[in-house]
Structure 1
Amino acid sequence: MRVGVDLARVGELDRLLSRPWFRRYFFSPHELRQADTLAAPRAAEYLTGRFAAKEAVLKVLGHGLFEGVSPHEIELFRQDSGEPAIRLSGGARDAAERLGVASVTVSLAHKGADVVAVAIGVAR
């Protein structure tokens, strides 16, 4: 088992979120389409939560930012039950396979402007 945790604050990414290259690098097309359907304050909260979750998953995979796994290869989506789920592709999937990580589970919590994410990688 591998664990990753990250904490982010809504608003601290505003400058980066305004840059198209960062949005494309960090978020999947599906995540960006979802954010575009939300009002600006809710979109910032949504993307900050995904940022924290991706950072937590990168820690599970043993990678930091700009270290071989592109964050957009870690996609968060909601299952029919409403709980968040992770889909890995490309370098993220390869890193998980090298580590023997069969699946990654993530949990997000929001309180005020703070967002915490915990990711757990389960071995095969």
Structure 2
Amino acid sequence: MIIGIGNDTEAISRVAEIAERQKSFITLILTPAECAAAAERKGKHQNEYIAGRFSAKEAFSKATGYGIGEKVQWQDIEILNEPNGRPVMKVKNFPYHTYVAITHSGDQVNTVVVIERLTLLEKMSIKLFPKRGVLS
């Protein structure tokens, strides 16, 4: 059962300008693993990556309805790519499925996040194996 949907659009150039002006912006928004993945990219692709992660975390905050800061911090959300390129979102201490789509077009990045309730069996699995779905 879907319990939340969030959407966000950002101008890639605007996020790049903020990152250039405020050097701590990237390490505030991105986890260490996301920073490492961003560092592997150069120029336009690095800016797209950073803006995409920022936008996805904003979309997550809209899907939950409680924003960033009160219950979830920027560093609690991590979006890394699978080998096939698909982004996967993991959220610290968040016992729900999260799905994320990130797309770029010109100077815009658009993201959608869907949050789905776990089945009873999945909830039992988390109790038996508490590290599942939690950032390490």
Normalised to the residue count of structure 1, the TM-score between the two structures is: 0.83
Local SS of the residue matching 2:47? helix
Give the whole-Å Cα distance in 1 for the aligned partners of 2:17 and 2:38.
Answer: 16
Shift of 1:38: 1.5
Give the whole-Å Cα distance in 2 for the aligned partners of 1:21 and 1:86.
Answer: 22
- Larger CA deviation: 17-26 vs 107-116: 17-26
2:100 corresponds, among 106, 111, 124, to 106
Unaligned runs of 5+ in 2: 119-136
Rg larger for: 2
- 2:16 equivalent to 1:22: no
Kept in 1: contact 2:99–2:115 (CA 8 A): yes
The number of aligned residues is 115
Structure 1 residues 80 and 38, CA gap change in structure 2 (3 angstroms): closer
Unaligned runs of 5+ in 1: none
Give the whole-Å Cα distance in 1 for the aligned partners of 2:88 and 2:16.
Answer: 25
Identity of counterpart residues, as a percentage?
A: 25
Letter in 2 for 1:76: I
Shift of 1:68: 3.1
Give the whole-Å Cα distance in 2 for the aligned partners of 1:38 and 1:86.
Answer: 20
Alignment match, 2:117: 123
Shift of 1:42: 1.5
Shift of 1:104: 0.3
Give the whole-Å Cα distance in 1 for the aligned partners of 2:78 and 2:115.
Answer: 15
Normalised to the residue count of structure 2, the TM-score between the two structures is: 0.76
